[in-house]
A and B are shown apart, each in its own frame.
Chain A
Amino acid sequence: MTAQIELKNIDKHYGAFHALKKVSLSIEKGSFVALVGPSGCGKSTLLRSIAGLETITSGDLHIAGKAMTGVPPRHRDIAMVFQSYALYPHMTVEENLTYSLRLHGVGKAEAKAKAAEVAATTGLSALLPRYPRQLSGGQRQRVAMGRAIIRNPKAFLFDEPLSNLDAALRVQMRKEIRALHDRLGATSVYVTHDQIEAMTMADWVVVMRDGIIEQQGRPLDLYDHPVNRFVAGFIGSPAMNFLDGTVSEDGGSVVLAGGERIALGKPAEPNRQVIAGLRPEHLRIAQGPADFHVEVGNVESTGSATYLGSRDDRLQVVQTDRSSVAVGDRVGLEIDPALVHLFDPQTGARI
């Protein structure tokens, strides 16, 4: 596989603010990469730097093997879908779609045919003569995508494209974008703050925080082997539980504050202070002897799953079977020792 977009030691300063710190990333041709992180982590800045809408302070950016430093956006052959869609309000859907073609001197008839073709793939055929203001949010979103795919660019950039849609439509558009990506064999970079979007859509997830890449990898690798506490807490929903504890004398378990123990899959350094990371969906209510006990503070049931919260609000449990647990109950919890994550309390790094 060849790298379609190659970033090396990208730095970006806004005055005194260091937005991107030595970011290096290689995006393979045909892959769907998600940049994910909390707001202000630099993911949008990184995307806009790839597009050329922001100038990078230092570092190398190559697209399809060509150095892009100093190349204006219009010569980068990249398409972007904006969060606001940025449709041209004074143009019809058809004119929006053919705008780039017309700029590049494509003939009227050819542009029209191309627009009809793209409209068919994005389900816009009936809407071509309309103006953006006459469209619903989902339709506008499709026009924005159609405008991107019509000129067959070297890469697609998505800047939180689904955040203005309602939940049901978001789930549907998630699938459509991914299907479109597969059909076109395109290279896509997708920015989102929603880790579910990143996990479900992308082949490769890049987790960012404060201008650096915390971890990148396949979605399930990030879920199974987060390199630090931040990634562990960011990936997965509801978020991972973190409990303070000390590794036991024999190294085979973690002793919690209350003296109860959680067994470990692999032995750890004895007597070391640790943070144990337990995913809510990995915790089970013990029928027999339990690893540890909590008092239930709240119970929320969605029908398919039940969310239990502890009284001290430090722990959440997701159960997929109907539970008869009530608020105020003291329940015993157990977890598969192989699924316990340990992190260093100071650095947050995985142990």
Chain B
Amino acid sequence: MRRFLGSLRDGAGFDILLVGAAMVFLIAMAGLPLIYNVLMSFQQVDMFTLGSLIRPWAGFQNYIDVVREPAFWLVAKNTFIFVFFSMGGQFVIGFALALFFAQNFPGASTIRGLFLVSWVMPGLVVGAIWSWILAGDFGVLNTILKNFGVISSNIFWKSDPAFSIWAVVIANIWLGLAFNMLLLSVGLAAIPRDLYEAAELDGANAFQRFWTITLPMMRSTIGAVLSLGLIGTLQQFDLFPAITEGGPANTSTVAQFWSWQMSFKLYDFAKGATISVMMLILVLIASIIYVRSTRHEVRG
């Protein structure tokens, strides 16, 4: 006993204690719910078996049912649009802003800090704000576009099936922009100044310097930003109930919102779990690609 206590204070026992504490926390808070979710996607779940762990085995039936849902391909397309264009918009505009603020003009860091306001705000609040901005009859966006002559009549962003998913994409780009910009700013700041000077003397113009120095030196940062972006976009939920509620006619429903609808609106927990497992696999693939791409990291 004494030896055991001794090793806890100083030795292998202490290491095991630390690792163990972290593992217990991970398993209890993340592992078990995850496993339960995966398990549920292979079971028949109804109102009567809701409280039990062991339920009739369904095999891949839930997955087949989900794919056969009439809304499946529409939701898949919406999810793709939402993820791809949200990430693209956040990344491109975020990178442009990061480069802009890297010019170190007076007040650059203060203004950059103010951008965080959008990231600090709760998704539901952002959704409510954009809901007003995007409103078809009195929205500010329509007024601006009309005054600039881009559109001639009001666009009903939230209720027009052709625009509903884009309404959420726009709001989500705004929401995630600051986070992207901040991470990319950190990456930019880590590139030594003299590399740019050397490249300039070697004859590189601004575009060539960006392409041959900035981008390759930012590889790991970009990888991190994109994978965090993917996870963030697939987790984005608040904007949907606040702006479109997935409508009209599912034209702005994405996988995560659909999963929630299945589970907590239609009480079809098996399908809800199945959809979330499908998303989990997507994120897993993206994470593996990210980890592999940063393994051969080149710095300094």
Residue positions of A touching B, CB distance < 8 A: 51, 53, 72-74, 76, 78-80, 82, 84, 86-90, 99-100, 103-104, 131, 133, 147, 151
Contacts and interface: CB of A to CB of B under 8 A. Distances in A.
A78 B194 CA distance: 15
Contacts of A86: 192, 194-195, 197-198
B299 interface: yes
Q: With a 10 A CB-CB cut-off, give which of B195, B202, B213, B299 has the most chain A CB atoms.
A: B202
A93 B197 CA distance: 18
Contacts, number: 65
A66 B234 CA distance: 59
Interface stretch (B42-50, B93-101, B110-118, B203-211): B203-211
Nearest to B196: A86
B201 A79 contact: yes
28 contacts: A51-B197, A51-B201, A53-B197, A72-B200, A74-B202, A74-B203, A74-B204, A82-B197, A82-B198, A86-B198, A87-B198, A88-B195, A88-B198, A88-B213, A89-B217, A89-B298, A89-B300, A90-B217, A90-B219, A99-B199, A99-B204, A99-B212, A100-B203, A103-B208, A133-B298, A147-B198, A147-B202, A151-B202
Interface in B205-245: 205, 208, 212-213, 216-217, 219
Contacts of B217: 89-90
Nearest to A83: B194
A104 B205 CA distance: 11
B298 A131 contact: yes
B194 A82 contact: yes
Interface of B: 192, 194-195, 197-205, 208, 212-213, 216-217, 219, 298-300
Contacts of B200: 53, 72-74
A90 B222 CA distance: 15
A72 B208 CA distance: 14
Given A74-B201, A90-B298, A103-B202, 17 more contacts: A51-B201, A53-B201, A74-B202, A74-B203, A74-B205, A79-B202, A82-B197, A84-B192, A86-B192, A86-B195, A88-B198, A88-B212, A89-B298, A99-B204, A103-B203, A133-B298, A147-B198
Q: With a 10 A CB-CB cut-off, give which of B198, B200, B299 has the most chain A CB atoms.
A: B198
A158 to B, nearest CB: 13
Nearest to A95: B212
B34 to A, nearest CB: 37
Question: Which secondary structure characterizes the binding site on chain A?
Answer: loop
Contacts of B194: 82, 84, 86
Contacts of B300: 89, 133
A133 B300 CA distance: 7
Contacts of A104: 203
A151 B198 CA distance: 14
A72 B204 CA distance: 10
Contacts of A88: 195, 198-199, 212-213
Nearest to A84: B194
B202 A89 contact: no
Nearest to B299: A89
Q: With a 10 A CB-CB cut-off, give which of A51, A79, A90, A151 has the most chain B CB atoms.
A: A90
Contacts of B198: 80, 82, 86-88, 147
Contacts of A87: 198
Contacts of A99: 199, 202, 204, 212
A131 B298 CA distance: 9
Nearest to A99: B202
Nearest to A159: B194
A88 B197 CA distance: 11
B95 to A, nearest CB: 18
Contacts of A100: 202-203
Contacts of B203: 74, 100, 103-104, 151
Contacts of A84: 192, 194
Contacts of A89: 217, 298-300
A104 B201 CA distance: 12
A99 B299 CA distance: 18
A100 B203 CA distance: 6
A73 B156 CA distance: 53
A115 to B, nearest CB: 14
B7 to A, nearest CB: 39
Contact of A80 (B201, B208, B299): B201
A80 B196 CA distance: 12
A84 B192 CA distance: 10
Top 9 nearest A-B pairs (CB, nearest first) are A100-B202, A86-B198, A86-B194, A90-B216, A90-B298, A74-B203, A73-B200, A103-B203, A73-B201
B214 to A, nearest CB: 11
Contacts of B298: 89-90, 131, 133
Contacts of B202: 74, 79, 99-100, 103, 147, 151
Contacts of A72: 200
